[in-house]
Structure 1
Amino acid sequence: MRYFRVEEDRSSRYTGDVDGSHKWGLPGIFCCPVCQATWSGGSKTYPSVDLTSVSQMADFEEARVEPIEEYERLSDLVRPLLPVGAIVEPGSSFGPLVGKAQGSFGSFVTPVPWWLLVWSEALEKLQAEGLHGLKGCSTQLRFRQRASPELLELELLPVGRLHPDCLPPERRPPCSRCGRRGIRLPETLLLDAATLPRDLDVFRLEDFSTVILCTERFVDACLRLELDGVIFQPLSAK
C-alpha cells in the first residue's frame, strides 16, 4: 500500500476563506511539573464529540492554559465520549467548526493544514467508492453567499508514526507526565510502515498530528472523480 500526504492546493483558482474554531476544547498545560513546558497541541480534533452532556461544559469554551492537574481533570471528563482510537492532548478540540465562510471552494477545503473539510456531495461520491474511515461531521459555518452546498469536516483519527530514521538521532523520550515530545516536524518524512493502518483510507499521524495522510485508494478515487482543492504528495515508508 502506498501513502500520500494531503495538502492544500496553493495553485487553486478558488478564493474561499474559512474563519472559525471548534465549539469546545481542552486547555493547554502551564508549566508541566516534570518537563517545565507550557504548551498546547490542538491538531487532534474530534468534531463528532458533543460535550453538551458534560456538567462542566463551560470549562471547555475558553482557550487558555491551566496547571496540569486541571487539564487532567477535564480530559478525564471527555474520554468516555471519544470515538474508538481517539487520543487527546493539551488543546484538543471537539464539536462542530463554528464561524464564517466566504468565496468559492474546491471539493476539499483546508482552512489550516490539519483540518480537512469536504463538500457533502463529494463525500457521498467517495463513500460510494467503498473507502474506509470517511466520517463527515456537520459544521456551523455561516456563508455570506446564498445557496451554498453543505460543508462537512472529516474526523481524522491519529494513527501511524514517522520512522525513527527521519527523526533527530539525539532526542529525548516524551515527557512522562504531559506527553510532550518537543521535536519539530522533519523536512523529509519517512513513515514507519509497521504502524500504518490497513482499515483507514484517510487519517492523521499520531506523533505529528498536523500531518494528514491518505492511501493510494483515496488518491485514485479523488482523481477519477475529479475532486479538487488539495494535492497529494507521495511518501516513503520503511
Structure 2
Amino acid sequence: MRFYRLREDEKAGYTGDISAASKWGLPGARCPGCGATWASAATAYPCVDLSQHPNRAEFVVPRPEPLEEFERLRELIKSLVPPGARIPPGTRFGPLVGKAWGSFGAFFFQNPWVLVVRREAMESLQDAGVQGLEGRKPELRFRQKNNPPELVELQLVPLGLLHPDCLPPRPPPCSRCGRDGFKLPEDLILDAASLPTHTDVFRLGNFATVLVGNERFKDAVQRLGLDGIVFHELPLR
C-alpha cells in the first residue's frame, strides 16, 4: 500500500475561503517540567459534541492554563473522543463556526491541516469504498444567498508516525507533558509499522499538521474526478 501527503491544489482556480474556528477546545498548557507553554495547532475532533456537557463553558475561551488544570479538563471529555486518540493541549472539538464566501471545489483546506469536503463528494467516496470518512457540517454564514455548498469538516484522527530516521537529533520528550517540540523535517519518511489499516485518510500522530491518505483514497478521488487536492507520495521504512 502506498501513502501520500495531502495538500491543497493551488492551481484549481476556486475562490472559496472560510474564516472560522471550532466551537470548543481545550486550553494550552504551561508545563512545570520543561517550562514550555504550548498547544497543538491541528488536533481536532469536529464530531465531538459538547453542547450538553455540564462543563461546556470551560471549553469556550482559548487560553493557556497550568498543566494540572489542562489535565483536569481533559479528563472531563476523555470518554467522548475516539478510543486511544491523542488529546494534546489545544485540541479542538465541535463544528467550525464562522463565515464563508466564494466558490469551492470538492476539497478545501482551511490552513494546510483542516480538510473540508463537499457533502456530495464525501458520499461518493464512501460509496466507492473509502474507509474512515466521517465529519461534521460547519456552522457557516455564506455571503452568497443562493445555493451555498454543503460542506463537511473531516475528522482526521492522529494515527500514523514519522519514522525516526527522518527526524533531527533532539532531546527526549518532556516526561511531564510529553512535548517533543521538533520541527517538521523537509523530507518525510513514514513509519510503516505505525500506519492504520482501518481508515484510508488520517493525520500523523507525531506531527498532526501533516495529512495522509493511502492509495485507495487517492485512486477513488482521481477516479471520481474530485478536485482541490494534490497527492505527494511519501516513502516508508
Offset from partner CA, 1:62-114 (integer Å, 9 cap, x none): 01101111101100101011123421001000000111000011100101111
- The amino acid that maps onto 2:7 is E
User: Matches of 1:78 and 1:173 in 2, distance apart?
Assistant: 28
User: Matches of 1:15 and 1:138 in 2, distance apart?
Assistant: 20
User: Matches of 1:136 and 1:78 in 2, distance apart?
Assistant: 18
Residue of structure 2 equivalent to 1:2 = 2
- The amino acid that maps onto 2:9 is D
SS in 2 for 1:190: coil
Residue of structure 2 equivalent to 1:136 = 135
CA RMSD of aligned residues (A): 0.9
Residue of structure 1 equivalent to 2:17 = 17
What displacement does 1:54 show?
Answer: 2.2
Residue of structure 2 equivalent to 1:163 = 163
What displacement does 1:181 show?
Answer: 0.5
SS in 1 for 2:232: strand
Residue of structure 2 equivalent to 1:29 = 29
Offset from partner CA, 1:115-167 (integer Å, 9 cap, x none): 11000000010000111101121210111112112100111011110111101
Moved over 3 A (4+): none
Unmatched 5+ residue regions in structure 1? none
Q: Percentage identity across aligned positions?
A: 55
User: Matches of 1:189 and 1:111 in 2, distance apart?
Assistant: 22
User: Matches of 2:3 and 2:28 in 1, distance apart?
Assistant: 31
Aligned residues: 236
The residue correspondences of 1:24-63 to structure 2 (distance < 5 A) are 24-30=24-30, 32-63=31-62
The residue correspondences of 1:115-194 to structure 2 (distance < 5 A) are 115-145=114-144, 146-168=146-168, 170-194=169-193
User: Matches of 2:173 and 2:78 in 1, distance apart?
Assistant: 21
User: Matches of 1:177 and 1:142 in 2, distance apart?
Assistant: 42
Is the 2:104–2:149 Cα contact (8 Å) retained in structure 1? no
Is the 2:190–2:235 Cα contact (8 Å) retained in structure 1? yes
Is the 2:22–2:92 Cα contact (8 Å) retained in structure 1? yes
The residue correspondences of 1:75-114 to structure 2 (distance < 5 A) are 75-114=74-113
User: Matches of 2:167 and 2:135 in 1, distance apart?
Assistant: 33
Tell me whether 1:206 sits opposite 2:205 in the alignment. Answer: yes
User: Matches of 1:147 and 1:120 in 2, distance apart?
Assistant: 13
Unmatched 5+ residue regions in structure 2? none
Is the 1:159–1:204 Cα contact (8 Å) retained in structure 2? yes
SS in 2 for 1:204: strand
Is the 1:85–1:158 Cα contact (8 Å) retained in structure 2? no
SS in 1 for 2:178: coil
User: Matches of 2:232 and 2:141 in 1, distance apart?
Assistant: 32
SS in 1 for 2:217: helix
What displacement does 1:42 show?
Answer: 3.2
